[in-house]
Amino acid sequence: MGAAVSRLGFTVMTGGGPGVMEAANRGARDAGGPSVGCNIELPFEQDPNPYLDRSVTCRYFFVRKVLLFKYSYAFVALPGGLGTLDELTEALTLIQTGKIKQFPVVLICTAYWQPFVEMLRTMAEAKTMSPHDLDLMLVTDSIHEATLHIERHAIQRFGLTKGARPSPWRWLGERALGVTRRAD
């Protein structure tokens, strides 16, 4: 998936750690695209993976989420743990409430995400969320389908061109030519 997203012209940005994040960053690197990690300080695990061109380390999860969402035009979730679920539901909530642009959300591995989707359907039936919120994401096993979805709902919707960069936010300590080494 990292290579496919990279071939679309995007920078692949992950949590910067091992496992699936490392695989996505390696895919971007192997495809010749930029690879960025928004790492988090934890008392165990979570060292930056070796496939990052740039890395920022955050002390707090909420800062990492701000960085991930600020620089995203699409959100791809692969099977993960509570951190993945936290970032996924935050993205969906921010899109649903109009706090960020409605970028595409893609969940890879239908069998893994089935219980999550069923829970959302239960919530829609209980009227604790709109049934239309289920349309905010694509759940698929196909990298090709995910790529086409991102192309249609990010590149075309936002009129993106290769090499375009979002402007820096000074209050986050960002500079015009890069990302600071540490975000607190």
Q: Domain containing 48 — which CATH number?
A: 3.40.50.450
Do 100 and 134 belong to one domain?
Answer: yes
The residue among 19, 36, 71 that closes a domain is 71
Task: Give the burial string for 119-133 (b: 16+ CB within 10 Å, else e).
Answer: ebeeeeeeeebeeee
Instruction: Categorise residue 98: left if φ over 0, alpha if ψ from -120 to 50, beta otherwise.
Output: left
Name which of 26-35, 95-104, 170-179 the model is least confident about: 170-179
pLDDT digits (tens, 9 = 90+) for 23-37: 999 999 999 999 999
- Among 21, 56, 71, which residue terminates a domain? 71
- In whole angstroms, give the CA distance from residue 143 to residue 1: 6
pLDDT band of 169, cuts 50, 70, 90: low
pLDDT tens by residue, 122-161: 999 999 999 999 998 999 999 999 999 999 998 888 787 7
In-domain check, residue 152 = yes
Residue 24 and residue 56 in one domain: yes
More confident residue, 74 or 173: 74
CA distance 121 to 100: 23
Distance CA 167, CA 44 (A): 33
Asked if pLDDT for residue 177 goes beyond 60, the answer is no
Is 171 contained in some domain?
no
Residue 131's alpha-carbon distances to 33, 121, 124, in angstroms, are 37, 7, 5
Do 153 and 77 fall within a single domain?
A: yes
E strand residue ranges, 54-183: 54-58, 75-77, 105-108, 137-140, 182-183
Residue-level pLDDT at 133: 92
- Tens of pLDDT, residues 52-73: 999 999 999 999 999 888 888 9
Q: Are residues 3 and 29 in the same domain?
A: yes
Residue 117 lies in a domain: yes
Find out whether 145 and 138 touch, Cβ atoms under 8 Å.
yes
| Claim to verify: residue 58 and residue 78 sit in the same structural domain | no
Answer yes or no: do 92 and 46 share one domain: no
Residues 7 and 22 grouped into a single domain: yes
Q: Identify the pLDDT of residue 162.
A: 62
Give yes or no: residues 145 and 97 share one domain. Answer: yes
138/148 same-domain check:
yes
For the beta carbon of residue 61, count every other beta carbon within 10 angstroms. Answer: 16
Q: Do 58 and 118 fall within a single domain?
A: no
Domain's final residue, options 71, 89, 115: 71
CA distances from 110 to 115, 128, 138, 173, 181 (A): 9, 23, 10, 38, 36
Supply the range of the domain harboring residue 59: 1-71
Residue 170 belongs to some domain of the structure: no
**Structural domains counted in the chain:** 2
> In this structure, are 91 and 139 located in the same domain?
yes
